[in-house]
């Protein structure tokens, strides 16, 4: 059964009328499935928000909950239970998908704590000069020139082995920088998980800017990969 | 399920496969609506009356007009001439017109009847399998077809996943499985992780325009071109001749899976013979481009699942086309199988394995058996879901390969003061521009309270259900009002349309059931008896031995004696006995029909008349259509 966590709003179970905590998926009293609870992706798994997660445990819990919640288990149930099973399982799947991925998990937790993280939605995210991290300014400028040259060469059907080599090298470098960012992020996880209020707020700030940098590098790598592979 | 194991229910003709061929019988002498024949017996009509037959309808499901026009270049069917853009395309079959879901419904109804015949009780619920790479519209069309056939569709299951279930049942293993499914018209690849009885799909990819049909068409084109070049005969203007060559092409293809070479030997209308040897290498060269098209999706699926070929523990082959040695070689190369001392799984019949898996899933849903109690399938959506944003770009809201059910919540607002409607265009696909993706539906959010521009906050919840079908709900948050959503599906039938297309609604009536079974059995008996009488006049009859004639007469007398009785099983057994006794006769007649068609004669001129009832028996050449 799921632990009572962040929400203290008591709700009466639809089936047995016993009051339970809002963020529970099953009634603690009669075990019946409940409508999608409030709370967050962590509370779905009975966890407090934290960044260092045991992924093996998370998967195990995901399977355990799937067995109980999945619409397959409610094929012969009443309409309302079918509906909740569908919505609860969607919530469970959304939660698992977000939490198992280290970057998505970090972004999600920071957003939960009110951080503003640029939505990466549609579009290529062509390199936006105003967002270039200062230490990369020169390299990005060079890279953009090379990418442009490469695209032009592609259009005319020319092959420039020299240019290709240099782009491969750039990709390798940015991949390396991304790995660095990932390591720095991981270091901040522990600072956030174990720190007090002040440490958390500092870690949060660092992570937001690391995520920004990461997103930027990611776009660069994608552009280079696409141009090389085109 | 029989005990712990799923089994395939055979049809009236004793065959486990019902090929997806649907034929419209001739208009009855007294007028009225012609009946519809499905399966092996419909296949014969392909050569006799090709304008009244449709096959491979799966390729047309959930598709728009222009897509259907594209597909029909490869097939002999015609669109109805009054089809308008924006409505579900209808196919002209003789004097009638049908949408693809209606045609599917006839096939499903036949399967339903086969099952009812087997269980001796009404069958009203079904698990239906679909290609994993089917989009929302194709899935919805499949569900519609089920409803028209009088079936409540409990679940749509992806075919590769079903196959994994069928294989996984008897091996309580852990590991990563790749299912390579090359059927008649579609290709799927799925990567699954199996652990503690949970089948978790990691990624799926595919092509819903790729399969055995493409191979048949390649062979067919070559034969037709050569016939034209060498003999000056353009068979393309004779639909029945084309179908006869097509049949020969399919037979050659099947033969080349086990033999090193096959023969085309076709008599032409001018009396010439088109003879050609096709060595296996020639076929392999010919189909290489088709097979190669399966490599890209496989590699993408591996990347999306985050695994290398070496990390794939087992490969399962599904679909009739995986019998082709070149396909097996390609799979071997893709997943480095022989290099690792492994072989793909082919133990289960590739034409039946998907159906067996569906039975396992049905058993899971019924929650009735110990065998499947611990099993659970976690599938994914094959395509990303997005909404069209400013400038026609797509904002992805649910990524492909997300475990379903999956949901996403988006917020919308107004751009003009007092605006009460917001339009949302939902698309499916991986491309960046909405125009390059598959349009799913346009939602019109109505009844937004008039407010200053940008003030309303409309929350729209998108949910992909366990069948892979999208549901949408919207709410204006400031007023708390549920916004009305008007959905205009880009491709697909409305609920009302489906309602009017439901085949014989009396199918549900339980009290009629026993009566119906008896009537159907008597009709079957009458139909086969009539055919035996007709066949007496045919040339084929003369080729039978005295013993064969005596066996047929004996079986006929027994059936005549029991057919009007109330004993359902006695009628069925006698029908089956007569069917068996006439098997060689049916083959002889079929051969005669093929050469007649090739000579360009109509069946009216021919010495055989092969009218068939809806469930008439007589198995024919090995089935390969799926």
Question: Which of A72, A94, A97 shows the shortest C-beta gap to B376?
Answer: A72
Which range is most confident: A114-118, B43-47, B604-608? B43-47
Greater confidence (B190 vs A31) lies with B190
Instruction: Judge whether B506 lies within some domain.
Output: no
Interchain proximity A94–B378, CB inside 8 Å: no
Domain stop point among B235, B261, B289 = B289
Least confident of A135-144, B220-229, B316-325: A135-144
> What are the chain A neighbours of B125 within 8 Å (beta carbons)?
none
Rounded-to-10 torsion of CA B523, B529, B533, B534 = 40
For residue B464, which residues of chain A lie inside 8 Å, CB to CB?
Answer: 90
Q: Is-cis flag, bond preceding B405, omega within 30? A: yes
Residue A76, CB half-sphere, CA atoms under 13 Å: how many? 8
How far apart are the CA of A130 and the nearest CA of chain B, in angstroms? Answer: 22
Alpha carbons A41 and A38: distance in angstroms, whole number: 10
- Residue A12 contacts residue A35 (beta carbons within 8 Å): no
Query: How many CB atoms within 10 Å of residue B457?
Result: 16
Q: Is B461 on the interface with A (CB under 8 A)?
A: no
Q: Are residues B176 and B320 in the same domain?
A: yes
- The answer to whether residue B619 scores a pLDDT higher than 50 is no
> Can you tell me the distance from the alpha carbon of B518 to that of B162, in angstroms, rounded to the nearest whole number?
34
Structural tokens at position B558: 């027994």
Please, which pLDDT band fits residue B328 given cuts at 50, 70 and 90? very high
Same domain? B309 vs B333: yes
* Structure-model confidence comparison of residues B293 and B367, the more confident one: B293
Residue B433, chain A, CB below 8 Å: the answer is no
Q: Does B378 contact chain A (CB < 8 Å)?
A: yes
> What is the arithmetic mean of pLDDT over B498-515?
62
Under DSSP, is residue A15 helix (H, G, I), strand (E, B) or coil? coil
- Listed residues B330, B355, B378: the one ending a domain: B378
Q: Is residue B104 part of a domain?
A: yes
Among A67, A86, A121, beta carbon nearest to B405: A86
Please tell me the predicted confidence (pLDDT) of residue B355.
94
SS3 per residue for B272-333: CEEEEEEEHHHHHHHHHHHHHCCHHHHHHHHHHHCCCHHHCCEEEEECHHHHCHHHHHHHHH
pLDDT at residue A92 in the model: 95
Q: Name the range with the highest mean pLDDT among B195-199, B238-242, B298-302, B576-580.
A: B298-302
Contact B61, B138 (CB under 8 A): yes
Task: Verify that B460 and B472 share a domain, yes or no.
Answer: yes
In this predicted model, which residue has the larger pLDDT, B84 or A194? A194
Of the candidates A29, A2, A1, A4, the one whose C-alpha atom is nearest the C-alpha of residue A12 is A29
Whether B366 sits inside 8 A of A75 (CB atoms) is yes
Query: Do the chains contact at B432 and A90, CB–CB below 8 Å?
Result: no
Distance from CA of B396 to the nearest CA of A (A): 7
SS3 readout for A22-85: CCCCECCCCCCECCCCCCCHHHHCCCCCCCCCCHHHHHHHHHHHHHHHCHHHHCCCCHHHHHHH
B573 falls in which pLDDT band (50, 70, 90)?
A: confident
Q: What are phi and psi of B487, to 5 degrees?
A: -100, 125
Question: Are residues B117 and B27 part of one domain?
Answer: yes
Residues 75 through 114 of chain B touching chain A, CB cutoff 8 Å = none
Contact A75 B155 (CB under 8 A): yes
Q: Which residue of B has its CA nearest to A74?
A: B365
Residue B312 lies in a domain: yes
Count of all residues that appear for chain B in the document: 626
- Closest-CA distance, A182 to chain B, in angstroms, reads 18
- Within a domain: B297: yes
Among B389, B459, B466, B467, most A C-beta atoms within 10 A, so best to mutate, is B466
Tell me, what CATH number does B270's domain have? 3.90.640.10
Interchain CB distance below 8 Å, A94 and B407: yes
Query: Is position B521 within any domain?
Result: yes
Question: Does B612 have pLDDT greater than 50?
Answer: no
Give every CB contact of residue A180 below 8 A, 6+ residues apart in sequence: none
List the beta strands (DSSP E) in B399-503: 406-412, 422-428, 438-446, 458-464, 470-476, 484-489
For A104, the token pair is 């998505």
**Residue in B with minimal Cα distance to A85:** B405
Q: Which residues of B touch A63 (CB under 8 A)?
A: 195-196, 198, 376
Same domain for B340 and B222, yes or no, is no
Give the residue from B210, B167, B185 showing the smallest Cα distance to B346. B167
Q: What is the mean pLDDT of residues B438-465?
A: 85
Confidence of residue B34 (pLDDT cuts 50, 70, 90): confident
Q: Do A63 and B195 touch (CB under 8 A)?
A: yes
**Strand-by-strand arrangement of the B91-93 sheet:** B78-79, B91-93, B96-98
The confidence band for B179, taking pLDDT boundaries of 50, 70 and 90, is very high
| Of B154, B366, B405, Cβ closest to residue A89 | B405
Q: Is residue B165 part of a domain?
A: yes
The pLDDT score that the predictor gives to residue B176 is 92
Closest CA to B421 of B441, B442, B445: B445
Q: ipTM for the complex?
A: 0.84
DSSP per-residue letters across B220-273: HHHHHHHHHHHH---GGG-HHHHHHHHHHHHHHHHHTTTSSEEEEEEE-TTS-E
**Residues B352 and B205 reside in one and the same domain:** yes
What is the pLDDT at residue A5? 39
pLDDT of residue A31: 82
CB-side neighbour CA atoms (13 Å) of B95: 9
Token pair for A67: 């067995």
Supply the pLDDT for residue B452.
86
Closest residue in B to A75 (Cα) is B365
Rounded to a whole number of angstroms, the distance between the first and last alpha carbons of chain A is 51
> In the prediction, which pLDDT does A230 show?
57
Contact A71 B376 (CB under 8 A): no
Domain around B547: 513-598
Number of domains composing chain B: 5
How far B142 CA lies from chain A's nearest CA (Å)? 19
Whose structure tokens read 């346009």? B442
Q: Report residues of chain A scoring pLDDT below 70.
A: 1-10, 22, 118-132, 230
Query: Do the chains contact at A86 and B466, CB–CB below 8 Å?
Result: yes
Most confident of the following: B25-39, B314-328, B364-378, B502-516: B314-328
Q: End-to-end alpha-carbon separation of chain B, Å?
A: 22
CB-nearest to A122 from B364, B393, B402 is B393
Q: What is the mean pLDDT of residues B372-388?
A: 90
By Cβ distance, the residue of A72, A76, A121 closest to B395 is: A121
Residues B320 and B447 in one domain: no
The CATH number covering residue B85 comes to 3.30.420.40
We report the CATH number of the domain holding residue B582 as 1.20.1270.10
Tell me, yes or no, whether B89 and B224 share the same domain: no
Q: Are residues B411 and B320 in the same domain?
A: no
Interchain proximity A66–B378, CB inside 8 Å:
yes
B190 lies in some domain = yes
**For testing the chain B interface, which of A122, A125, A219, A223 should be mutated: the one with the most B CBs within 10 Å?**
A122
Given an 8 Å threshold on Cβ–Cβ distance, is B394 in contact with A76? no
Predicted pLDDT at A152: 78
Is B466 an 8 Å CB contact of chain A?
Answer: yes
Mean pLDDT of chain B: 84
Task: Enter the tokens of residue B393.
Answer: 């770009």
Tell whether B15 is covered by a domain: no
Both B48 and B105 in one domain: the answer is yes
Q: Examine the domain organization and report whether B486 and B576 are in the same domain.
A: no
Contact across the interface for A72 and B406, Cβ inside 8 Å: no
Interface membership of B193 toward A (CB under 8 Å) = no
More confident residue, B525 or B405: B405
Number of CB pairs, chain A paired with chain B, less than 8 A apart: 72
* Boundary of a domain, candidates B357, B378, B399: B378
**Using the beta-carbon criterion (under 8 Å), do B386 and A122 form an inter-chain contact?**
yes
Is a pLDDT exceeding 70 seen at residue B601?
no
| B107 vs B21: CA distance, rounded Å | 8
Is the same domain home to B40 and B124? yes
SS3 B206: strand
- Rounded mean pLDDT, B191-215: 91
């Amino acid at each position: 059964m799921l632990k009572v966590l962040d929400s203290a709003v008591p709700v009466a179970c639809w089936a047995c009328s016993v009051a339970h905590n809002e963020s529970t998926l099953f009634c603690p009293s009669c075990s019946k499935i409940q409508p999608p609870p409030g709370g967050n992706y962590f509370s779905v798994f009975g966890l407090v928000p934290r960044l260092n997660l045991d992924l093996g445990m998370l998967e195990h819990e995901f399977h355990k909950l799937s067995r109980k919640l999945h619409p397959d288990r409610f094929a012969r149930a009443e309409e309302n239970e079918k509906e909740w099973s569908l919505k609860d399982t969607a919530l469970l799947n959304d939660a698992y998908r977000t939490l198992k991925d280290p970057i998505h998990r970090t972004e999600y937790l920071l957003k939960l704590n009110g951080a503003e993280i640029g939505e990466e939605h549609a579009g290529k995210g062509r390199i936006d000069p105003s967002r270039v991290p200062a230490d990369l300014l020169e390299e990005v400028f060079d890279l953009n020139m090379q990418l442009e040259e490469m695209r032009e060469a592609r259009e005319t059907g020319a092959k420039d082995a020299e240019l290709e080599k240099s782009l491969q090298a750039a990709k390798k470098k940015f991949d390396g920088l991304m790995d660095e960012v990932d390591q720095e992020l991981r270091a901040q996880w522990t600072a956030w998980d174990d720190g007090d209020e002040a440490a958390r707020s500092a870690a949060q700030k660092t992570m937001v800017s690391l995520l920004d940098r990461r997103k930027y590098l990611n776009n660069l790598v994608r552009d280079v990969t696409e141009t090389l592979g085109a | 399920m029989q005990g712990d194991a799923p089994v395939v229910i055979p049809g009236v003709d004793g065959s486990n496969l019902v090929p997806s061929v649907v034929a419209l019988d001739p208009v009855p002498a007294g007028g009225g609506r012609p009946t519809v024949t499905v399966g092996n017996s419909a296949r014969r009509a392909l050569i006799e009356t090709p304008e009244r037959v449709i096959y491979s309808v799966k390729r047309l499901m959930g598709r728009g007009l222009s897509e259907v026009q594209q597909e029909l270049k490869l097939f002999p069917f015609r669109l109805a001439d009054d089809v308008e853009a924006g409505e579900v395309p209808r196919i002209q079959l003789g004097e009638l017109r049908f949408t693809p879901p209606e045609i599917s419904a006839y096939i499903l109804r036949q399967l339903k009847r086969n099952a009812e015949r087997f269980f001796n009780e009404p069958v009203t619920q079904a698990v239906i399998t679909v290609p994993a790479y089917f989009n929302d519209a194709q899935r919805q069309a499949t569900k519609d077809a089920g409803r028209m056939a009088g079936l409540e569709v409990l679940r749509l299951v992806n075919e590769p996943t079903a196959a994994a279930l069928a294989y996984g049942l008897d091996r309580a293993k852990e590991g990563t499985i790749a299912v390579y499914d090359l059927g008649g018209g579609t290709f799927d690849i799925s990567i699954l992780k199996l652990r503690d009885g949970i089948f978790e799909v990691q990624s799926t990819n595919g092509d819903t325009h790729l399969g055995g049909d493409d191979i048949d068409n390649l062979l067919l084109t070559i034969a037709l071109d050569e016939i034209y070049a060498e003999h000056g005969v353009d068979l393309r203007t004779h639909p029945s001749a084309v179908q006869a060559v097509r049949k020969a092409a399919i037979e050659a293809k099947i033969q080349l899976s086990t033999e090193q070479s096959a023969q085309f030997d076709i008599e032409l209308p001018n009396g010439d013979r088109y003879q050609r040897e096709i060595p296996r290498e020639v076929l392999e060269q010919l189909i290489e481009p088709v097979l190669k098209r399966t490599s890209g999706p496989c590699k993408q699926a591996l990347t999306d699942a985050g695994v290398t070929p070496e990390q794939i523990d087992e490969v399962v082959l599904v679909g009739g086309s995986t019998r082709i040695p070149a396909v097996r070689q390609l799979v071997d190369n893709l997943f480095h199988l022989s290099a690792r001392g492994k072989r793909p799984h082919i133990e289960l019949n590739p034409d039946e394995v998907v159906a067996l898996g569906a039975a396992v899933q049905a058993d899971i849903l019924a929650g009735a058996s110990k065998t499947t109690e611990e099993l659970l399938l976690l599938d994914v959506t094959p395509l990303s879901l997005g909404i069209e944003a400013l400038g026609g770009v797509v904002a992805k809201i649910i990524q492909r390969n997300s475990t379903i059910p999956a949901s996403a919540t988006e917020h919308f607002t107004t751009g003009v003061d007092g605006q009460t409607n917001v339009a949302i265009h939902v698309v499916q696909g991986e491309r960046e521009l909405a125009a390059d993706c598959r349009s799913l539906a346009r939602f019109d959010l109505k009844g937004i309270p008039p407010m200053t521009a940008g003030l309303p906050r409309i929350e729209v919840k998108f949910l992909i259900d366990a069948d892979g079908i999208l549901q949408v709900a919207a709410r204006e948050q400031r007023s708390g009002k549920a916004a009305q959503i008007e959905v205009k599906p880009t491709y697909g039938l409305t609920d009302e349309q489906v309602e009017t297309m439901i085949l014989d609604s009396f199918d549900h009536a339980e009290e009629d059931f026993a009566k119906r079974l008896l009537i159907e059995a008597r009709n079957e008996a009458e139909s086969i008896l009539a055919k035996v009488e007709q066949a007496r006049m045919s040339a084929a009859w003369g080729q039978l031995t005295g013993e064969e004639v005596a066996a047929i007469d004996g079986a006929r007398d027994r059936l005549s004696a029991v057919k009007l009785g109330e004993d359902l099983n006695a009628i069925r057994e006698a029908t089956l006995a007569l069917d068996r006794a006439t098997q060689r006769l049916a083959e002889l007649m079929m051969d005669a029909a093929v050469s007649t068609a090739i000579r360009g004669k109509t069946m009216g001129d021919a010495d055989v008349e092969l009218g068939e009832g809806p469930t008439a028996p007589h198995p024919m050449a090995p089935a390969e259509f799926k």
